[in-house]
Amino acid sequence: MADSYKVDGMTCGGCARSVTNAITKAAPSAAVTVDLANGTVTVDGGVPADTVKRAVEAAGFDFRGAA
C-alpha cells in the first residue's frame, strides 16, 4: 500500500534524495517517490506514518501529514 504525505522544504534533487535516503534508512523495504513540484512524498510498503514523520524531520524537512 502506498501512502502520500505533504513535505515542505524540498526544493531540488538533493533534497529529494535526502528525504528518500532518510525514509529508506528507517524502513529499508520502503519504496519512496518524491514529487518535488507538488511537495509530496509517496511511500510504498506499509510503513507507519510516524516512522516517515520522524525520518523526514530528522532530515531537516517539514512533515505536514497525509497529502
The reply to whether 67 sits near its own copies by the rule CB under 8 A is no
3-state secondary structure of 21: helix
Q: Does 33 bind its own copies (CB under 8 A)?
A: no
- State the DSSP code for 12: S
Q: CB of 6 within 8 A of CB of 61?
A: no
- Closer of 5 and 20 to its own copies (Cβ): 20
> At its nearest, how many Å lie between its own copies and the CB of residue 59?
5
Give whole-number Cα distances, 44 to 35, 41, 54, 56, in Å.
14, 10, 17, 15
Which CB sits closer to its own copies, 19 or 47?
19
List interacting residues with its own copies (CB under 8 A).
9-15, 17-22, 25, 58-61
